[in-house]
Structure 1
Amino acid sequence: MVPKAVIVGGTGQIGLATARRMIGAGWDVTVVSRHVKALPDGCRHVGVDGRDVEALSAAVSFDTDLLLSCVAFDTADAECLVQAGRAVGRIVAISSASVYCDAEGRTLDEASVCGFPVFSVPLTEQSLTVAPGPETYSTRKVAMENTLLSRAACPVTILRPCAIHGPESKHAREWWFVKRLLDGQSKIPLAYGGCSRFQTTSVAAIADAVVRAAGGDLPAVANVSDADSPTVAEIGRAIMDIMGMRAELIGLPDAPLFPPALGATPWSIPRPMIFSGAATAQATYAQSAGPAVRWLVEHVGNDNWRTRLPQLATYPTPLFDYEADDRAFQLLGAGSFT
């Protein structure tokens, strides 16, 4: 029999990538979302709110093998999945690397106020997480995880990706480099000497992890990451290779505060955040970043980037202040990578 999957929030970046992967693997796929969007061939769409228990339950047939939520955020979302998924073969939910905390309890949520966490790396599925609760994004994610794991009538897999990259993203970090290259910037400053390592995760890796989870090949909680953890400088070089363009990368001296005032990329952190886990991909960042970069070049431009990338546009500091870039090049200790 053809296996059946229902994807809640399936019109977003992760949902679309996973739908394509599952259709290619022979699955029957139904996408649940509030808004209609162009879907991969072979998908059905059900236009309901994923938090409407009755409507979602109606979309999940008794012979559904996999109920995947790409948008489960808190306890309410988890309870809805528990009720709608009472007869499914497995529930998979996308969580986040933000649930991890350091020995002082610091997470990514409070980094700009409390300082960036000092993680013991690599982070594994056994690493410390924050306590569940309604206070922050991270505590709500943990509450969602715990509710699913403790209350679902079927097996559950929680997937924890980190800095996600891929086409159709609303938070495409690669735009930081892509726009500078398209704008003809010949030099690009990188905070922390360009040595920051903020674990990357391709949507392809997430889609593969979903298929593995559906087959029972992953533990109840699995970190999802690329095969490597590239530095910011390595990310920049990979993007330049994909675009066939070049700029000089200038490493800046370490900043006294986080986030740094100059050369702050979306991956710039003072201490590493590196993953190791059950769903590490075979492909490196450089091998898997092409779809994200090409999508940006084809679909995002100076006139629309804030609407196409709304999450990136909400960063508290300007991302493309080229006068600030020029000041960065004058810092004592700024130097070109060889």
Structure 2
Amino acid sequence: MPRALILGGTGLVGRATALRLLGGGWQVDVVGRNPARMPPELTAAGGKFIAADRADQGQMQATLGAGADLLVDCLCFTAADARSLLPLAANSASTVVISSRAVYVDAAGHHVNSDVPPHFTTPITETQPTLAPTTAIDYRSREGYGANKVAAEQVVLESGLPVSVLRASQIHGVGASPAREWAVVKRVLDGRTALLLAGRGAGVVHTTAAANLAALIETVAARPGTRVLNCADPDAPSALEICRAIAEHLGHEWEEILLDDTAPAGLGRTPWDSPHPILLDTSAATALGYRPAGTYATTIAPVVDRLVEAARNGQPPVDDGYFAEYFDYAAEDAFLAGLRLRFPC
């Protein structure tokens, strides 16, 4: 039985990967600091939790033991993280590091965390220019996140070890924080009868299901190598199409109000807005043998159901300010009242 060791395995990507591998006959050890965060479905499927600190090399070496067939690092954010991973990767047949589309820059040097949104004129391939690597800016900042990811990527790719760097985009699934779908689910639960969408809901930001990322991880595990691969859903729905998919799953109907540039600023915002499409080219992964687990609509169902269940149990997602701009119902109602005055039935 092949063995997989997943660092940060109780989170969004780790959970999906563990479930995929356990279903494929793997022995899966999930590494984390808090056993209370071990998803019960992983334990039920045969996954084992190992309490260890990612930053403690002694604990990591003890956790790895005699080695692993697959090492997955969901917590590699900086060059220092990458350097600490190398001794473990040297004793693993295949290693995967989770990265992000945030590393890419357009022709003007803009990226997804820039004040000026990027404008990629074609789907982004793995050869697209990236940010300059840095260790001087906090990786938790907008400017520092992508640049630190680039620095981490360079460390593992230059090691000569069989490490696959997977660049994902807006990962979604059970365990996501924030779960962007709450911006639509809450509206449904609140009984809203109209959906206002800025930019006519035409914004496209490629999404990546954690289940699809898990499928690619399983693919590269069987084909060890040193490489960079994009990972995204096989479809790239617009903000409008995403809202429709979630509402349809919940059996909810509403009037769609597609706003143009004359609408008040901020009205009808969604987490998937973008003035220019952001698409990842995944042909390299496909050529390697990767087959996605499903489309956005099919893979989003479990997280939508979990959000509804949590809300009905009095435990909706904590609103730390991320969702505030999506639920300004007073502004929406005032706008709709103005429409009715201008265009009475």
Residue ranges of structure 2 left out of the alignment (5+ in a row): 138-143, 287-291, 340-345
> Are 1:56 and 2:64 matched, yes or no?
no
Q: Aligned partners of 1:65, 1:254: CA distance in 2, in Å?
A: 53
Q: CA deviation at 1:80?
A: 1.2
1:128 match: 129
Could you give the per-residue CA deviations for residues 251-309 of structure 1, whole angstroms, max 9, x where no partner exists?
1113799xx511110111111101111346362212221112111111246954343xx
Structure 1 residues 1-338: aligned runs within 5 Å: 2-36=1-35, 37-39=37-39, 40=42, 41=44, 42-110=46-114, 113=115, 115-134=116-135, 135=137, 136-151=144-159, 154-216=161-223, 220-254=227-261, 261-277=266-282, 278-279=284-285, 281=292, 283-300=294-311, 304-307=315-318, 313-315=320-322, 318-329=325-336
Relative to structure 1, the CA distance from residue 55 to residue 179 in structure 2 (aligned partners, 3 Å threshold; closer, same or farther) is: same
Q: Aligned partners of 1:23, 1:255: CA distance in 2, in Å?
A: 52
Residue identity matched to 1:58: A
Q: Aligned partners of 1:317, 1:45: CA distance in 2, in Å?
A: 35
Number of equivalent positions: 321
Q: Aligned partners of 2:262, 2:323: CA distance in 1, in Å?
A: 17
* TM-score normalised by L of structure 1: 0.89
Residue ranges of structure 1 left out of the alignment (5+ in a row): 333-338
Q: In 1, are the aligned partners of 2:204 and 2:236 still within 8 Å (CA)?
A: yes
Residue identity matched to 1:228: D
Could you give the per-residue CA deviations for residues 121-161 of structure 1, whole angstroms, max 9, x where no partner exists?
2111111211111331000011111111112x530001111
* TM-score normalised by L of structure 2: 0.87
Q: In 2, are the aligned partners of 1:196 and 1:272 still within 8 Å (CA)?
A: yes
Q: Aligned partners of 1:314, 1:99: CA distance in 2, in Å?
A: 25
Q: Aligned partners of 2:89, 2:225: CA distance in 1, in Å?
A: 19
Q: CA deviation at 1:330?
A: 6.6
Q: Aligned partners of 1:80, 1:122: CA distance in 2, in Å?
A: 33
Q: The residue matched to 2:4 in structure 1 has which SS? A: strand
Q: Aligned partners of 2:73, 2:129: CA distance in 1, in Å?
A: 24
Relative to structure 1, the CA distance from residue 38 to residue 317 in structure 2 (aligned partners, 3 Å threshold; closer, same or farther) is: closer
Q: The residue matched to 2:48 in structure 1 has which SS? A: strand
Q: The residue matched to 1:268 in structure 2 has which SS? A: coil
Relative to structure 1, the CA distance from residue 35 to residue 216 in structure 2 (aligned partners, 3 Å threshold; closer, same or farther) is: same
Q: CA deviation at 1:323?
A: 1.1
Q: The residue matched to 1:287 in structure 2 has which SS? A: helix
Residue identity matched to 1:194: G
Could you give the per-residue CA deviations for residues 215-268 of structure 1, whole angstroms, max 9, x where no partner exists?
1178711111111110111111111111111112211113799xx511110111
Q: In 1, are the aligned partners of 2:5 and 2:31 still within 8 Å (CA)?
A: yes
Residue identity matched to 1:164: I
Q: Aligned partners of 1:196, 1:255: CA distance in 2, in Å?
A: 17
Q: Aligned partners of 2:68, 2:128: CA distance in 1, in Å?
A: 33
Q: Aligned partners of 2:263, 2:155: CA distance in 1, in Å?
A: 40
Q: Aligned partners of 2:55, 2:23: CA distance in 1, in Å?
A: 28
Q: Aligned partners of 2:312, 2:285: CA distance in 1, in Å?
A: 34
Q: In 2, are the aligned partners of 1:60 and 1:85 still within 8 Å (CA)?
A: no
Q: The residue matched to 1:197 in structure 2 has which SS? A: coil
Relative to structure 1, the CA distance from residue 300 to residue 171 in structure 2 (aligned partners, 3 Å threshold; closer, same or farther) is: same
Q: Aligned partners of 1:86, 1:220: CA distance in 2, in Å?
A: 16
Q: The residue matched to 2:158 in structure 1 has which SS? A: helix
Q: The residue matched to 1:95 in structure 2 has which SS? A: strand
Query: Percent identity at matched positions?
Result: 38
The alignment yields a C-alpha RMSD, in angstroms, of: 2.2
Q: CA deviation at 1:325?
A: 2.0
Q: The residue matched to 1:206 in structure 2 has which SS? A: helix
Q: Aligned partners of 2:251, 2:125: CA distance in 1, in Å?
A: 36
Higher mean alpha-carbon deviation, 236-245 vs 57-66, is at: 57-66
Q: Aligned partners of 2:262, 2:211: CA distance in 1, in Å?
A: 34
